[in-house]
Structure 1
Amino acid sequence: MSTALAAPAPRRWQRFSPWKRLARLAFTLFAVAAFVASLRSIEIIPEFLYDAPDQMADLFGRMWPMDAGYVGPTLRALVETLHIATLGTLIAIAIAVPIGLLAARNVTANLPLNLFAKFVFVTSRSVNSLVWALLFVAVFGPGPLAGTLAIALRSVGFTGKLFAEALEEANPGSIEALQAAGAGRLSTLLLGYWPQVKPAFWSIALFRWDINIRESAVLGLVGAGGIGVALDTALNLLYWDQVAVVLAAIFGVVVLAEILVTALRSRIL
């Protein structure tokens, strides 16, 4: 009597293992619980949501027509904002480049210096530009100097970190060739590293300048100069037609900065 071999049970393909499915379910439940807790903690008042469209319509009605007499002060404040953003970016680059050289492990093979440079970058990025502005307003008083220093110190971490990463991604072949030929440290930096990181450097600098224009536009709300001072004054006096002029100027300069940065990138890179 022959015995038939039992056919193996068909295998069922599953995208995730049971542990992964359990982890995804736990994360989903945590996200939903966090969302619900957030809604309860911020105490949304339904009555304010119901009449929000009417309030927005009334606000825009007060903004129009815009106050043409406020264009002159707004443009002068806008020029000051551009000066703050530009000078702050230049100061940040001057500080970030040498610290970026210390942070790059292939350029500076010294662990304490690498950690110190990264600590500077983390400190710079962890403090918001408005907080930096409040600190410098307390030290130097209100004005564009506080705004310039706030933009500069906020930008050091961003530009320095990306510059150090670009240095670490440089091709070591040309570097080793220069060192084998007896090139000094400065020659190695200028002839080996700089040609490779130059496109990244200009991209970082232009992108950060574009960001700084946006950030410097609101620093005046804490007394750090620029067009934010004009916006704060108009808001405090409830002159909504002047607020509209300031907002239009900010929107226009942001659009022009985006166009200018794109054009410069296409010509430089």
Structure 2
Amino acid sequence: MSGRPVEPAPIWQRRTAAAQRWSWLCWAGAALIFAASWKLVSDNTIWAFAADAPAAGWDMVSRMWPPRWSYLGQLLRPLWDTLNIATLGTALGTLIAVPLAFLAARNTTPSRWLMRPLALTIIVASRSINSLIWALLLVTVVGPGVLAGIIAIALRSIGFIGKLLYESIEEIDVGQVQAISATGASRCQVLSYAVMPQIMPTLVGTTVYRWDINIRESTVLGIVGAGGIGLPLAASVDTLAWPQVTVIFAAILLTVFAAEWVSLRVRQALI
């Protein structure tokens, strides 16, 4: 045996002392932020109204029944406008998003220092602004109506489709690209025969999914004057025609269910 002393086994700790202090500091900071936020909300809330909210809500629900089903015939045109806004807006957004995705992807962009940052900036800007805000701005530019809604949906869709698509482009199998390039194919041919077949399932799936989302978003654009079923919804709420609001809600619900079914069937057929 050696004469060296036996070192005691180290005591296992979940965190070091410094890490433990940092954890407690973070919790204390979160508690202070929560307390400050609660005070801000409390100071700007009329609690008498909040206490009366259940009774007011039940009163509104009681006024919405029975639904005025005779109003349903007047919703066919707004529903058709809503579908057109979602479909045309998604198509326009996809047409713009596809070339942006190729410009934003590291392995297909012609310039990593100019074109890629510019494309990423457009994609991020599109995703940062809600379609309702886009519609509010466009109504003042192109006037109220369906056109403002279509452009608003398109501008919102560019960022969603572009982001998922350029990430898919960056994850393609490089071997297929090298094989096509080895035959002497041009850059355009490489994109057509090596890149596009790999990202097509993502493109189709993302576009259909975005169209499904746009159906829901298009139902409220009319509140700011961008066409669709939101117009009669806003008018009914303003005039306190609650039985009509019930019919509009039912029409929106059925439309969303139908869009979900179509979206599912299309994805199953094409992907």
Say whether the fold is shared (TM-score over 0.5): yes
Alignment of 1:30-179 (within 5 A): 30-42=29-41, 43-111=44-112, 112-179=114-181
> Is residue 74–residue 245 contact of structure 1 (8 Å, CA) maintained in 2?
no
Query: Residue 22 of structure 2 aligns to a residue in which SS?
Result: helix
TM-score (norm 2): 0.92
> Is residue 133–residue 147 contact of structure 1 (8 Å, CA) maintained in 2?
yes
Asked whether 1:207 is paired with 2:209, we answer: yes
TM-score (norm 1): 0.93
What is aligned with 1:248?
Answer: 250
What is aligned with 2:28?
Answer: 29
Q: In the aligned structure 2, how far is the partner of 1:114 from the partner of 1:179?
A: 23
Cα distance change on mapping 1:247 and 1:19 into 2, 3 Å = farther
After superposing on structure 2, the runs of 4+ consecutive aligned residues of structure 1 that deviate more than 6 Å are none
Q: In the aligned structure 2, how far is the partner of 1:49 from the partner of 1:9?
A: 62
Query: Residue 110 of structure 1 aligns to a residue in which SS?
Result: coil
> Is residue 151–residue 212 contact of structure 1 (8 Å, CA) maintained in 2?
yes
Q: In the aligned structure 2, how far is the partner of 1:138 from the partner of 1:253?
A: 28
* 1:45 shift after superposition: 3.1
> Is residue 103–residue 114 contact of structure 1 (8 Å, CA) maintained in 2?
yes
* 1:127 shift after superposition: 1.8
Alignment of 1:224-235 (within 5 A): 224-235=226-237
Q: In the aligned structure 2, how far is the partner of 1:27 from the partner of 1:256?
A: 47
Q: Which amino acid aligns with 2:270?
A: I
Q: In the aligned structure 2, how far is the partner of 1:166 from the partner of 1:132?
A: 27
Q: In the aligned structure 2, how far is the partner of 1:185 from the partner of 1:44?
A: 61
Aligned residues: 266
| Structure 2: stretches of 5+ with no match in the other structure | none
* 1:8 shift after superposition: 4.0
* 1:11 shift after superposition: 2.7
| Structure 1: stretches of 5+ with no match in the other structure | none
* 1:51 shift after superposition: 2.5
Identity rate, percent: 44
* 1:5 shift after superposition: 7.9
